[in-house]
Chain A
Amino acid sequence: MLELFRDANALWVLAGTTLLGISSGVLGSFAFLRKRGLMGDVLAHSALPGICLAFLFTGSKNPLWLLIGATFTGLLASLFLSWITRFSKIKEDTALGLVLSTFFGVGIVLLTQIQHSDFGNQAGLDKFLFGQSASLVGTDVAIMGSISFVLILLASIFFKELKLLCFDANYGKSLGFPMVGLDFFLMLLLVVAVVIGLQAAGVVLMASLLITPASTARYWTERLDHMIIISACIGALSGLVGTILSSVATKLSTGPLIVLAVTLLFFISMLCAPKRGLIAKSLRLIQTRAKVRQEQIYVAWNQLGSKTITLSALSQQSHLSTTQVHRWIKQKKRTGQVVENSQGTFTLSDASWKEASDTALLGLYMEMWHMYEDIETDCSIQDIEQLSDLPESLRVQLQSYLQKHISEEDRAKAYHSTRRAGM
């Protein structure tokens, strides 16, 4: 591995893949939020005919010409895409499929045509299909680097406008920003980001470099600027890791390893991210279930009106099975909140008894709050977790509603019972 850092050529490759990761991470974030996840795939595939055409016209493999050709057909594909969705009844997913396969088909036809003819120097165009990072040389990386720099610069200059485009394009239009033009501008940036990655990652894998860092970053933050920075870091990291791995295991090619690295990061994030991750989500669900069960049991215990009760009475009152109630009681016995008596009855500790009645009372208060939801208060109903979260003034008010409501209910009951009695 140390050899890698002594070899100048390998360092160029490393720099190239890292830069590529950064620029596709940044641009991919906007594509992801604009819900253009598949766009990268379309743009990458439709770049192939452009590369072939550029070669056919100029007869050279100068990367600049190839990039211009690829950008041209990439833009053409994105224009076709928006025309199809705007002027026909075909939906976007169908249009994506149509445009992608048509352009890629044309690209493959041209590629075989070039390979079967006598160009002499045609060898190497097919590297755009699957990418060949090892073929990156100093000039390639210099071009990639400067274009990446311009892309990132443009994205940061237009950050505010691009954010508006991704969040609420119609509102942006009402403010006077040319949203159609901005959308095209974002598309142009995306095309260029895709095209500079083709040599390293290839037409087939480029899409994942664009979209995976962004969707990975989304797991870790709730702020757009942070998301873009994280996405760039993830892109860079996977570029580095993929390149180093492929130089250690020389038989594996770089592009696919980069994609595997970024996908691994995605899976780790999907599982382990603090708020949005699957593990965190299921932990929250388990906690919520335990809390709901506890509330049910507390309220039932409170309704039974006695600190000491039998298991069957509690199970009946709480509408939970005896096993469920018993499991809860076993937990609480360990913490000393419940004591089992010799006759098979259970007694709640004083502190928990207070907690139970608080829980029951909070439940009633919340009912009142929902009934009279226009109560004047500073706090928000969804922020209330326990009785002590209620400010005193609000509590007094809810209490008065509760008394009024309960007495009305009693009166109604009394009314019905007198009716039933035929009085």
Chain B
Amino acid sequence: MTNKTPPLSIENVSVAYHRKPVLRNITYQSPEGECIGIIGPNGAGKSTLIKATLGLLPLAGGEVSIYGKPYSQQRKLVGYVPQRESVDWDFPTNALDVVLMGLYGQLGWFRRPKSEHKDRALEALRKVGMESFAKRQISQLSGGQQQRVFLARALAQEAQIYFMDEPFVGVDAATEKAIVQVLHELKEQNKTVFVVHHDLQTVSEYFDSVMLLNLRLIASGPTREVFTTENLQKTYGGRLAILPHTNEMLSIR
């Protein structure tokens, strides 16, 4: 890993759904070894940005590179945590099996996971505090536990960059704590983590850098410089209520 090429570089990227542009001319270069929050209102294209970066959506224009190369050549460096609602949890399988899926990319075609892979999957479950749930049928897990299983699946990939789509939405305190813990550990290992995030209250606490997104990139950079009232008003418009004295966000209507 050279320090010169940024983990993620987005050049003039646009994404469109049914010919309607959803993201316009995003240009961004990420710092390395940081936890980066992707912030913006509903429908601002936060998840779209992640999906386009991972090649799950076609780009209408522009270029994405991971450590200087196209994503298709750098898959092994990238871990993905999709939104929990994106799958049917009544699938006949257990937590360990879902985490093992994180190793399918390294296994390649036809090879079945062996006991060493199971150990790695268990280790990933342990990191999110879910070791004792390994054999539990996935529909029997609470929402937060399902989220942690998804996180463990990405951890098992042992990637260099992680993309997490709304991991904090609708989870219990134990899960929130586990996720924050994982974010810290990843940062200590100089890994770069992108997190789509909704709760403005916790932004300064969780993220070193932020990307403020509303169809275009409003601002990006270190949280304490960029996460300002002015920028937030640019991003959220009039929907943001701000306490005048404390300069803290109260709520978003």
Residues of A within 8 A of B (CB): 33, 35, 157-161, 163-164, 166-168, 170-177, 218, 221-224, 226-227, 373-374, 378, 380, 382
Q: Give the residues in chain A near B51, CB-CB below 8 Å.
A: 170
Interface size class of B (residues with CB under 8 A): 35 or more
B251 at the interface (CB under 8 A from A): no
Q: Given that A171-B101, A222-B92, A373-B172 are known contacts, is A176 also in contact with B142, CB under 8 Å in the complex?
A: no
CA distance A173 to B54 in the complex (A): 9
Q: Which of A174, A223, A378 contacts B54 (CB 8 A)?
A: A174
B55 at the interface (CB under 8 A from A): yes
Q: Which residue of B lies closest to A173 (CB)?
A: B56
Q: Which residue of A lies closest to B107 (CB)?
A: A160
Q: Given that A33-B91, A175-B105, A221-B92 are known contacts, is A170 also in contact with B82, CB under 8 Å in the complex?
A: yes
Q: Which of A35, A176, A226, A378 contacts B75 (CB 8 A)?
A: A176
Q: Is A166's CB under 8 angstroms from B91's CB?
A: yes
Q: Give the residues in chain B near A226, CB-CB below 8 Å.
A: 92
| New A-B pairs, 12, CB < 8 Å, besides A218-B92, A223-B93 | A157-B110, A161-B104, A167-B87, A171-B80, A171-B82, A171-B153, A172-B101, A174-B54, A174-B78, A222-B94, A380-B132, A382-B142
Q: Given that A160-B112, A374-B173 are known contacts, is A168 also in contact with B104, CB under 8 Å in the complex?
A: no
Q: Given that A168-B82, A224-B93 are known contacts, is A175 also in contact with B173, CB under 8 Å in the complex?
A: no
Q: Is A167's CB under 8 angstroms from B93's CB?
A: yes
Q: Which 10 A-B pairs have the closest CB atoms?
A: A175-B105, A374-B173, A174-B80, A373-B173, A176-B75, A222-B137, A174-B54, A168-B87, A224-B92, A227-B92
* Cβ contacts A to B, 30 pairs, < 8 Å: A33-B92, A157-B110, A158-B110, A160-B110, A160-B112, A164-B104, A166-B91, A168-B82, A168-B86, A170-B82, A172-B104, A173-B54, A174-B54, A174-B55, A174-B75, A174-B78, A174-B80, A176-B75, A177-B105, A218-B92, A221-B92, A222-B92, A222-B93, A224-B92, A224-B93, A224-B97, A373-B173, A373-B174, A374-B173, A374-B174
Q: Is A223's CB under 8 angstroms from B78's CB?
A: no
B239 at the interface (CB under 8 A from A): no
Which of A33, A374, A380 has most chain B Cβ within 10 Å?
A: A380
A226 to chain B, nearest CB (A): 8
Q: Which of A158, A168, A378 contacts B101 (CB 8 A)?
A: A168
B72 at the interface (CB under 8 A from A): yes
Q: Give the residues in chain A near B133, CB-CB below 8 Å.
A: 380
B218 at the interface (CB under 8 A from A): no
Q: Give the residues in chain A near B174, CB-CB below 8 Å.
A: 373-374
B173 to chain A, nearest CB (A): 4
Q: Give the residues in chain A near B82, CB-CB below 8 Å.
A: 168, 170-171
Q: Give the residues in chain A near B113, CB-CB below 8 Å.
A: 160
Q: Give the residues in chain B near A378, CB-CB below 8 Å.
A: 132
Q: Give the residues in chain A near B110, CB-CB below 8 Å.
A: 157-158, 160
CA distance A174 to B177 in the complex (A): 27
Q: Is A174's CB under 8 angstroms from B56's CB?
A: yes
Q: Which of B72, B86, B93 contacts A170 (CB 8 A)?
A: B86
Q: Give the residues in chain A near B56, CB-CB below 8 Å.
A: 170, 173-174
Q: Give the residues in chain B near A172, CB-CB below 8 Å.
A: 101, 104
Q: Which residue of B lies closest to A172 (CB)?
A: B104
Q: Which residue of A lies closest to B81 (CB)?
A: A171
Q: Give the residues in chain A near B55, CB-CB below 8 Å.
A: 173-174
CA distance A221 to B54 in the complex (A): 34
Which of A33, A226, A227 has most chain B Cβ within 10 Å?
A: A33
Q: Mark B132-149, 1 if CB is under 8 A from A, else 0.
A: 110001000010010000
CA distance A166 to B112 in the complex (A): 17
CA distance A168 to B75 in the complex (A): 17
CA distance A175 to B71 in the complex (A): 11
Q: Which of B80, B98, B142 contacts A167 (CB 8 A)?
A: B98
Q: Which residue of A lies closest to B163 (CB)?
A: A174
CA distance A174 to B78 in the complex (A): 8
Q: Is A164's CB under 8 angstroms from B101's CB?
A: yes
Q: Mark B64-104, 1 if CB is under 8 A from A, else 0.
A: 00000000100100101010001110011110011001001
Which of A33, A158, A175, A221 has most chain B Cβ within 10 Å?
A: A175
CA distance A222 to B133 in the complex (A): 15
CA distance A374 to B144 in the complex (A): 13
Q: Is A374's CB under 8 angstroms from B107's CB?
A: no
B182 to chain A, nearest CB (A): 16
Q: Mark B22-59, 1 if CB is under 8 A from A, else 0.
A: 00000000000000000000000000000100111000
CA distance A163 to B133 in the complex (A): 21
A317 to chain B, nearest CB (A): 32
Q: Give the residues in chain B near A382, CB-CB below 8 Å.
A: 142
CA distance A258 to B132 in the complex (A): 44
CA distance A158 to B91 in the complex (A): 18
